[in-house]
Structures are given as structure tokens and as C-alpha cells.
Amino acid sequence: MARVSKKSLDPDVEKRMFALFWRSLSRIGTAEEMADFFADLLGKNEQIMLAKRYTIAVLLSKRKNYQQIVTAINVSPSTINSVANWLKNLKPATKKILDRHLKDEAWGQFFDKIEAILDAPPPIFAYPNQKSALGKAKFKASMARSTRSVLR
């Protein structure tokens, strides 16, 4: 967990510090430059935490349930709940960005991988029989994913 000094900053200094920080971030050009910047700025665990939280937000926006998200990216329900609460209070600009990312082809391919993980049976069970309702649903989902992949 990040540690912040208990001594408060002068409000003008804090306001200026954030303004310069956000402006600096907005000037980073490519995804690779952004990745390098955050790799230097954040520790590995902080990077993983941010990426997982954002992925949770995207998956919740795609109407995935808590158990599916827990299974797919190994997070706790309390983490999902905190992200769900954040999603309830999004600013319009953040909502617009999230909606744009939901339409991104790379996220579509990621969703296919998540669904493949969710379709896999737990290791202690045998593969579902295609004659069972669960087996049929998973088979249909697998075929739909395959078709989407071919069409991309």
C-alpha cells in the first residue's frame, strides 16, 4: 500500500503539482513510451494492481459477474466491489474512454481469452459432456469465439 506523508501540502503547491503531472502524462506519445514511463515510476506490484483494476472495470462493463472475474484474473471479490463502486461514480470523460476501449479490437481478443478460461472446466472435473446443458453452452460459446476470431 502506498504511504503518503501526514503533513499536508500547501493547497496551491498541490494544485500546481497535479496540474503539471497530468499535463506531463498527456504528452506521452506512444503506448511503449507510456509503458516505459510507468515501469520507471511504479513498482511491479503497483503496475499489476492498476492493470487488474482497469481490467476489472472493463469486464464489469461487459457484464461479467464477480465469480467470472475472480476466476479469470485472480482477484478478490472485495477488489471487484471497490472497482464496481468506482464505476458507479464515473465522470463523463472517464465513461467515454471506457466505452471507447470496449470497442477496441485488442480488448475483443482479450475477452475471447477470458471466455476461454471461463469455459475450461475446473482441473478436478472431467470435460463436460457435449450432451449436458453446460457442455452445449460451452461448446456454442467456443464456436462463437472461433467465428469472431476468424472474422477479425
CA 57 to each of CA 63, 90, 95, 97: distance values in angstroms, whole numbers, following the listed order: 10, 11, 11, 12
Q: Are 113 and 148 in contact (CB under 8 A)?
A: no
Which amino acid makes up residue 98? Answer: L
Residue 129 has pLDDT above 70, yes or no: no
- What would the mean pLDDT of 120-125 be, rounded to a whole number? 57
- pLDDT for 84 equals 94
Q: Are 139 and 130 in contact (CB under 8 A)?
A: yes
Q: What is the pLDDT of residues 72-118, one digit of tens each?
A: 888 999 999 999 999 999 899 888 888 888 787 777 787 777 777 77
